[in-house]
Amino acid sequence: SSELTQDPAVSVALGQTVRITCQGDSLRSYYASWYQQKPGQAPVLVIYGKNNRPSGIPDRFSGSSSGNTASLTITGAQAEDEADYYCNSRDSSGNHPFGGGTKLTVL
């Protein structure tokens, strides 16, 4: 299956650590990439590969993978991290499904 499953919503207290997960069979062969999207804006790549951050992404964002689950961790969440987060991967047929997205609330 090429589906990727995310929890619809997660909350975190300001300054605490939060993990957002993504599950799917394709993640056993492909690392997920993670995208942050704020209202009215285009998505922004925050993590790709094993644990790579594009230039300009704070080091409080990190990624990991185990079996069929990929995780995005924000260590010391900030108010500006409140956003929707999407995982994406590739499957053996060349499809690139997105997860359904996780709405992160910073309390």
Partner 1 sequence: QVQLQESGPGLVKPSGTLSLTCAVSGGSISSSNWWSWVRQPPGKGLEWIGEIYHSGSTNYNPSLKSRVTISVDKSKNQFSLKLSSVTAADTAVYYCARSGADYDPQYYYYYYYMDVWGKGTTVTVSS
The footprint of partner 1 (CB under 8 A) covers 29-31, 33, 35, 37, 42-45, 48-50, 54, 65, 84, 86, 88-90, 93-101
Q: What is the number of alpha carbons within 13 Å of residue 20 lying toward its C-beta?
A: 36
Q: Are strands 9-12 and 102-106 parallel, antiparallel or unpaired?
A: parallel
The three-state secondary structure class of 41 is coil
CB 24, min distance to partner 1, A: 13
Contact 10, 102 (CB under 8 A): yes
Nearer to partner 1, 25 or 76 (CB): 25
CB 52, min distance to partner 1, A: 8
CB 66, min distance to partner 1, A: 11
